[in-house]
Amino acid sequence: MLTKKRYSVKDMVLWTRKETFFYLFYAGVITVLYKVFGFTFLNVPWTPVALIGTAVAFMIGFQNNSAYGRIWEARKIWGAIVNTSRTWGMKVQDMVSNAHAPNPVSESVIKEEKRILVYRHVAWMTALRYAMRTRKSWETQHTSQTNREWRDMIHIPEEVSSLDDNLKLYLSDEERHYVMSKPNKQTALLYLQSAHIRKLKDVGLIWEFAFLELENVLEELFTHQGKSERIKNFPYPRQYASLSLYLTRVFALLLPFGLIPEFADIGQSMTDSFFLIGKYFIWVAVPFCAVVSWAFHTMERMARVGENPFEGTSNDVPISTISRGIEIDMRQMLDEDESIIPSQFPEEKHVQM
């Protein structure tokens, strides 16, 4: 997530330079053919091209809307993870106790149980964010060079260190090996949580009705996890993505044929007063076509890069930061020493990951 006011003009120009050059080149070629070779038959009526343009604007508008919907939904889900995490922290804090225990245990034992429940929760969030940053077959933003340049400036925490290393901080070795052996690690962790609180219930450290409440918190976490996985595993329907792309391209291909003759006419009409300028006026069509194509192309590309909010781009939902923020929060509430609590991931190039 970009955290500054906006992308600078320079950012935009650099990011879109490839298509800009392509459109300049393409319009240039048509203009050369039209003007230099005199192929003035490279000419289609402008108004149907504009009609296609309107229809394309419509399609891309909806696509951008959907992409925004996906980003916003993803952010909502991770916001809900924040809320339920805090609830988990609070309920664990105040529902694990000797109040109903037939054989009360010492305060330090209770504290340790709470610590384990909180650490395992952090492990779950960690496993989930690693799962979100894996690559899907339709996530191909990194194949474009201008996207890769952005990627190279920022460091995705999930690519810097491995999940296994991270889990060492939160789980016993036994549990860690068990979890790493399962394909869906986050699910395994929630099952472990449930087994743990059940054990605590069986020895009376959790009241039976509090146990039901805590199970329902775990149910909620399953829901958030599943929603996050749904967005990861189900792309914006490829048929719509394909259609937008191809329609935009059809429009961009037809554009110079519709515009260059109009510039030629204008140039023609000014040859009396400005002979030289009139003669070369048609070349203004080149940047002009490029601008129009660029506008449509960039709208379409914006929709494309926004589709997958966990792909590892600078426009991602910042799940590493959110997850780490919660970890800090929960560990502070355990009254841990500040020195052992990790610090937040730094922003690079104003990008929060």
CB of 195 to a copy of itself, least distance (A): 6
Q: Which residues of 83-99 are buried (b: 16+ CB within 10 A; e: fewer)?
A: ebbeebbebbeebbbee
Stretch that binds a copy of itself, among 109-117, 127-135, 154-162, 226-234 (CB under 8 A): 226-234
SS3 content of the chain, % helix, strand, coil (to 5): 75, 0, 25
Q: Whole-angstrom Cα distance, residue 96 to residue 110?
A: 7
203 lies in the site for a copy of itself, by CB under 8 A: no
- Please, which of residues 286-305 interact with a copy of itself by CB under 8 A? 288, 291-292, 295-296, 298-299, 302, 305
**DSSP E strand stretches across the chain:** none
Residues 251-290 that bind a copy of itself (CB under 8 A): 254, 259, 262-263, 266, 270, 273-274, 277-278, 281, 284, 288
- Residue 212 Cβ vs a copy of itself, minimum distance, rounded to whole Å: 6
Residue type, 17: R
CA dist 182 to 121, 176, 220, 284, 300, Å? 17, 10, 21, 62, 39
Q: How far is the CB of 172 from a copy of itself (least distance, A)?
A: 19
Q: Scan residues 86-145 and list those touching a copy of itself (CB under 8 A).
A: 86-87, 89-91, 93-95, 97, 99, 136-138, 140
Q: Is 52 in the site for a copy of itself (CB under 8 A)?
A: yes
Say if residue 294 is exposed, middle or buried (CB neighbours under 10 Å; 0-12, 13-18, 19+).
buried
Out of 128, 247, 286, 290, the residue judged to bind a copy of itself by CB under 8 A: 247
Residues 160-199 contacting a copy of itself, CB under 8 A: 182-184, 187-188, 190-191, 194-195, 197-198
